[in-house]
A and B are shown apart, each in its own frame.
Chain A
Amino acid sequence: MKNILEVKNLSTSFFTHAGEVKAVKDISFNVGIGEAIGIVGESGSGKSVTSLSIMNLLSFPGKVINGSVCFAGTELTNLKEKKMQLVRGNEIGMIFQDPMTSLNPVYTVGNQIMESLLRHQKLNRGEARKKAIEMLSLVGIPGPENRLNQYPHEFSGGMRQRVMIAMALCCKPKLLIADEPTTALDVTIQAQIIELLKDLKDKINTSIILITHDLGVVAELCSRVIVMYAGSVVEKGTTRDVFYNPRHPYTWGLLKSIPIVNADHKERLIPIDGQPPDLLNTPPGCPFCPRCDHAMQICAQTQPPLSQLGEQHLAACWLLHPGAPRVERGR
């Protein structure tokens, strides 16, 4: 399979007054054409910074300090802003976590969708309008002709996220980055949005990077998963590998914290104990060490390398060293 996106040794830092915040540390992954991959991790693990680094949208004082992002054969990290603008929204679409704040409140939904079309495609206003209506009905918004003239506050959260999806996909991008597209929504609406993405992935034939802290969402849609912790990739592999044969203690924790919807539609979540490390002064050794039930002496001293566990399956943990004791995944 050919790749649409190849990220190699990407590192991104924020140069704040307090010092360098290493938000993303030496991560590598790729996305095949038409493939959906998931990036999971607790909040603060660097998922959003990764996606903004790909889009070249980091705001001051953030900066990609190393590595490469190769999209459809073009290196993006050093691409001129003018050229990058032709990639954004056109070849890579993006949707964000909070649909309540991600749409501009003072312009109609139609205006905001058409704006993208007019910018990237050779359409006149009438054609753009037609296309926008088409997109709205594609994402399952009833009465698109009327909805087009409405403002974001006239839509519910789920409907707004549908609008965001229509906007991100209207130029038929080769890649869609969805940064926690369901986190801010009700559980029932979450399922609908994931269903919609699944449906559109095949209809539009776009590759997807789905960012979430919810492993359950990934299982629905993605063929491969990357698990991030404190800016690093700690485990990656096929969805099957990560779900049925997870090897990193952090992944074990994440799997335990998959929300289970009770009969009364309340989510139950078992969070992992402890806090993620301070990215400003990262101690040596495994970043998960202070929270890990299986930490050994070496864990506090030296960072574990990524061990190859299968054709695609990798994890960074000293437990995978041939000399380490065997540990059973707790339940």
Chain B
Amino acid sequence: MVTIWMVVTITFFLMHAIPGGPFTREKALPPAVMKNIEERYHLNDPLWKQYTDYIQNLVRGDLGPSFKYQGVTVNQIIAESFPISAQLGLASLFIMLFVGLPAGIISALRQTKWQDHLAMSLATVGVAVPNFVVATLLMYIVGVKLGWLPTARWLSWQSVIMPSIALAGYYTAYVARLTRSSVLEVLQQDYIRTARAKGLPERVVVYKHALKNALIPIVTYLGPILAGILTGSFVIEKIFAIPGLGEHFVASIWNRDYTVILGVTVFYATLLVIVNLIVDILYCFIDPRIRLGK
């Protein structure tokens, strides 16, 4: 709660500190019109009054009306565009876990064999190349040259494929590398030798005794990774012209659409707090030492 409040406050005052307002145009509006508008949106109230009003509404779950889009509330914007972003995010998460983790495990078990070299070369490329480059390349090759998938917009289920790959690329590679080094380290541990000395088959040694321990550092990084996917989606949505929340957020900043900026920020902050809570619960779940430490 404190985190979210701090995010709101900082964003609120920073936003007002930037020159220009939501109704600043290249050609100035007539003073009378301007006055009308400002009264309607309470923009001529003292700043502290605007702030307390906002907080009061926020507590009731009302994020206010958009300044830019007449008659549309911020709640509506989020309700409409967040599901799209969520699909993109979940698809990326899915790719990250179901490609990154197995790739890392296989690399570790086939250490210095061709599978390892292949996976780690790809991972190095994945970590080094920024997501907008991946996005542009994918768009050009798969979308334009081969024509297999739609290049942009959000039309069918196929629309999710390229953006989610572009978004997940870096994190998949990162998870693969992290998994590999984590598995390799765990396999050196004394309790792995104990498991082997018990006569357990290698399969059980790796998938029961090594894997759960190897996941601990990965879960630790999951919070930052998910935050990264969230912010990464701003760029990707822009490139692929996907009408998700990230796209709205970027647009709202250009438009100085105060309530949308604040609303989306609050929404993302809340989301991150929840995500981190889930990660913490997950963490306690796999590491009994944490569970009892608390």
Interface contact B198-A167, CB-CB below 8 Å: yes
| From A86, A88, A104, A116, contact of B213 by CB (8 A) | A104
Q: How far is the CB of A184 from chain B (nearest CB, A)?
A: 11
Q: Quick check: is B94 within 8 A (CB to CB) of the other chain?
A: no
Q: A101-B190, A102-B190 are in contact. Are A94 and B197 (CB under 8 A)?
A: yes
Query: Which of B3-11, B30-38, B75-83, B282-290 lies on the face that meets chain A?
Result: B282-290
For the complex, what is the distance from the CA of A57 to the CA of B194, rounded to whole Å?
10
Q: A105-B191, A106-B213 are in contact. Are A151 and B196 (CB under 8 A)?
A: no
Interface string of B195-216 (1 = CB under 8 A from A): 1111111000000110011001
A-side binding surface: helix, strand, loop or mixed? mixed
Q: A89-B199, A119-B200 are in contact. Are A103 and B289 (CB under 8 A)?
A: no
Q: How far is the CB of A167 from chain B (nearest CB, A)?
A: 7
Contacts of B199 in A (CB 8 A): 84-90, 116, 119-120
Per the CB 8 Å criterion, the residue count for chain B at the interface is: 22
Interface contact A153-B196, CB-CB below 8 Å: no
Interface string of B273-294 (1 = CB under 8 A from A): 0000000000000111100100
A residues with CB within 8 A of B: 55, 57, 84-90, 93-94, 96, 98, 101-108, 115-116, 119-120, 151, 153-154, 164, 167-168
For the complex of A and B, list the 9 residue pairs with the smallest distance between their C-beta atoms, beginning with the closest.
A89-B199, A88-B199, A89-B198, A101-B190, A104-B191, A94-B197, A151-B288, A85-B199, A102-B190
Interface contact B198-A105, CB-CB below 8 Å: no
Q: Quick check: is B117 within 8 A (CB to CB) of the other chain?
A: no
Q: A101-B190, A104-B191, A104-B213 are in contact. Are A153 and B200 (CB under 8 A)?
A: no
Q: How far is the CB of B220 from chain A (nearest CB, A)?
A: 14
For the complex, what is the distance from the CA of A205 to the CA of B114, rounded to whole Å?
49
Contacts of A88 in B (CB 8 A): 196-199
For the complex, what is the distance from the CA of A314 to the CA of B228, rounded to whole Å?
68
Interface contact B190-A106, CB-CB below 8 Å: no
Q: A104-B213, A105-B288 are in contact. Are A57 and B191 (CB under 8 A)?
A: no
Interface contact B194-A96, CB-CB below 8 Å: yes
For the complex, what is the distance from the CA of A255 to the CA of B209, rounded to whole Å?
41
Q: Quick check: is B16 within 8 A (CB to CB) of the other chain?
A: no
For the complex, what is the distance from the CA of A94 to the CA of B209, rounded to whole Å?
18
Interface string of B155-197 (1 = CB under 8 A from A): 0000000000000000000000000000000000111011111
Known: A106-B216, A164-B194. 18 other contacts (CB 8 A): A57-B197, A85-B200, A89-B198, A93-B197, A96-B190, A96-B193, A101-B191, A102-B194, A103-B191, A104-B194, A105-B213, A105-B288, A107-B208, A107-B212, A151-B288, A151-B289, A151-B292, A153-B292
Interface contact A115-B194, CB-CB below 8 Å: no
For the complex, what is the distance from the CA of A167 to the CA of B194, rounded to whole Å?
10
**In the complex, which residue of chain A has the Cβ closest to the Cβ of B293?**
A153
Contacts of B201 in A (CB 8 A): 85
| From B197, B209, B216, B292, contact of A104 by CB (8 A) | B209
Contacts of B189 in A (CB 8 A): 101
Interface contact A153-B288, CB-CB below 8 Å: yes
For the complex, what is the distance from the CA of A103 to the CA of B212, rounded to whole Å?
14
**In the complex, which residue of chain A has the Cβ closest to the Cβ of B216?**
A106
Interface contact B213-A115, CB-CB below 8 Å: no
Q: A101-B191, A153-B288, A153-B292 are in contact. Are A106 and B197 (CB under 8 A)?
A: no
Interface contact A89-B191, CB-CB below 8 Å: no
